[in-house]
Structure formats: structure tokens, C-alpha cells
Amino acid sequence: MSNKPTFDLITIFPEYMAPLNLSLIGKAQEKGLVEIAVHDLRQHATNVHHSVDDTPYGGGAGMVMMPEPWGKAIDQVAAQRPGTIHDLIILTPAGRRFNQSIAQEMSSYEHMIFACGRYEGIDIRVTEHYQNTPGFRVHELSIGDYVLNGGEVATLAIMESIIRLIPGVLGNPESIVEESHSITTADGGVLLEYPSYTKPAEWRGLPVPEVLLSGNHALIEKWRAEQASARTQKVQNHLK
């Protein structure tokens, strides 16, 4: 068994990461299944004003995060884990689109460093430098085709999807197997989950489908497969 997964988050808003102490992720930390540390980028600012951004070379709107504080912050957290592969995750709308199979892959990583950029992003030389640094793997990731104010919310989303896949984190590990996006279809797409019902058997005039009350497991499985497929089709048509 490898060491427990460790997450070092670097941000100018450490308070943004407070939700990681709640619910399943909070419990996963308490149980020692994962280790999470949050670091303030500003502590690595090199000028008297503690600024971490500057105007873009070539002109244009907005500010760009300077490479110097990032280099210092990343080197420091990497130095705490010698001999480990450091997966440096840089959040940017220009990154590869994150999905369930990337979450699955990342759930086996040992040391992840999340770099939460703000403003117009981080000077690209940070990416280039660590791509060429032994012991590092760099992943530029986006959580969707929209622009956030920074990488913090993206980090929270990605971490939640990774941590729930780590053995021991979820009470019922079987729930992972059946859920949306974890089932691959013949054409390489992902199947969305079938709709769920619980008590009461009728709510505001809406009954639970008869088949789910039948106790016939083969029929229930067939119905669920049809529903999952219809749902997937509907969403795909909507996206076209």
C-alpha cells in the first residue's frame, strides 16, 4: 500500500478551502485516509507590497500572477515530500476538461499540488518549468467551458470527486460503481444514472413506477438500464 494521498493547495484565499473540513472529506481527514494542507501564496511574495500579480507583457486587460511566488511555494511543498512524484494541478479554463475517468486516475496519485490561479491566470513559465523538472507531472485542468474568478472552486470540485473514490472514504463503496459517468458505453461515452425513488409510494399525485415495487430484480434491472439509456440520449440531444 502506498502512502496516503496528500493534497497541498496553494491559493491567495486559504479561507476558501474551509469546506474541506466538513462532511465526508472532513471525516476522511480525521480517519487519516487523506492529508490536506492549505498554503497562502502571499507568504511567498517577494516584494514589499506582498503583491503576487503584475500587468501582462504585451499589454491587455487584467493582471497575471508572477512566477516567482509560485515557484517558491511549489518548491517548498515539494521539498516536504522527497522521493515522491509531485502531480502539479494548475486550474485554468484553458486546461483539459476534467471528468470522471481523470478523477479515477488521480485517486491513485500520492502527492497533488493544486495551484489556484486568479486574475488572468499564472505566468505560463510556471507550467513550462515544472514540465521540465524531474519528479513533477503537470496537469492543466478545467472543470468546464465557463470562466470562474479563480481556481479555488474548481479545486474543491475536483478534490471532492477524487477523495470520494479513495478506499474507505464512502460508507457504501458499491454506490460508486453504478453512478453516473462511471459506466462506459460501447461507443466510449458515459452512461448517466437511472432515476431514483424512495418513500412514499405516491407523492403529490406522482406514483413510483410499478416495476420498482414488483420485487422482480431482472425486470427492475432492465427498466433501470432503459431509463439510463433514455436519459443519456436526452442529454446528448440537448448538447447537440
Number of H helices, E strands in the chain: 8, 11
* Contact pattern for ligand ADE over residues 85 through 104, marking x by CB under 6 A: ------xxx-----------
Q: Is 151 a residue that touches ligand ADE (CB under 6 A)?
A: yes
Q: Is 57 a residue that touches ligand ADE (CB under 6 A)?
A: no
Using CB under 6 A, pick the residue from 142, 165, 228, 232 that binds ligand ADE: 142
CA distances from 224 to 193, 211, 212, 213 (A): 8, 10, 9, 13
The residue range among 45-53, 136-144, 190-198, 202-210 that interacts with ligand ADE, by the rule CB under 6 A, is 136-144
Using CB under 6 A, pick the residue from 10, 34, 113, 148 that binds ligand ADE: 148
Distance CA 231, CA 217 (A): 21
117 burial type by CB count under 10 A (0-12 exposed, 13-18 middle, 19+ buried) = buried
Which is nearer to ligand ADE, 57 or 146 (by Cβ)? 146
State the amino acid at position 174 in one-letter form. Answer: E
Residue with cell 485554468: 92
8 A C-beta contact, residue 105 and residue 41: no
The residue range among 54-62, 139-147, 181-189, 198-206 that interacts with ligand ADE, by the rule CB under 6 A, is 139-147
Which is nearer to ligand ADE, 157 or 183 (by Cβ)? 157
Using CB under 6 A, pick the residue from 154, 163, 192, 228 that binds ligand ADE: 154
Q: What single string gives the DSSP state of each residue in 196-238?
A: ---S-SEETTEEPPHHHHS--HHHHHHHHHHHHHHHHHHHHHH
- The residues, any chain, with a CB within 8 Å of residue 158's CB and separated by 6 or more, are 89, 91, 98, 103, 106, 114, 141, 143
Q: Is 5 a residue that touches ligand ADE (CB under 6 A)?
A: no
- Least separation, in Å, of the C-beta of 148 and ligand ADE? 4
Q: Is 62 a residue that touches ligand ADE (CB under 6 A)?
A: no
Q: Is 113 a residue that touches ligand ADE (CB under 6 A)?
A: no
User: In 3D, which of 90, 39, 87, 38 has the Cα closest to residue 65?
Assistant: 90
Which is nearer to ligand ADE, 15 or 187 (by Cβ)? 15
Q: Name the site residues for ligand ADE (rule: CB under 6 A).
A: 91-93, 142-144, 146-148, 150-151, 154
